[in-house]
Amino acid sequence: MDSSVMDMPLTWRQTYNIDFPYQTEINQQTYFLRLNNFPDENLYTLVDEMLSPCLELEDLPINWTMETV
């Protein structure tokens, strides 16, 4: 996955998992946002279904919607 995902309008759903608080679907695959050890690391890491890191994020794009329950 490259940084073009930052330009996609995505809706993230809350997961209730403290380490991976949000998930979304991109091209029929599930991705998670991992919460990192900020400020020593970037705030989030985008990870795939196998929890492999795909992209480091310092801030969330404005075109991403974070749903909460």
Domain extent listing, the chain? 3-67
pLDDT at 23: 98
pLDDT at 69: 73
**pLDDT tens over the chain, length 69 residues:** 777 999 999 999 999 999 999 999 999 999 999 999 999 999 999 999 999 999 999 999 999 999 987
Measured distance CA(46)–CA(32) in Å, rounded: 6
pLDDT at 18: 94
pLDDT at 2: 74
pLDDT at 3: 78
List 23's β-bridge partners, or say none: 13, 32
Tokens representing 16 are 């209730």
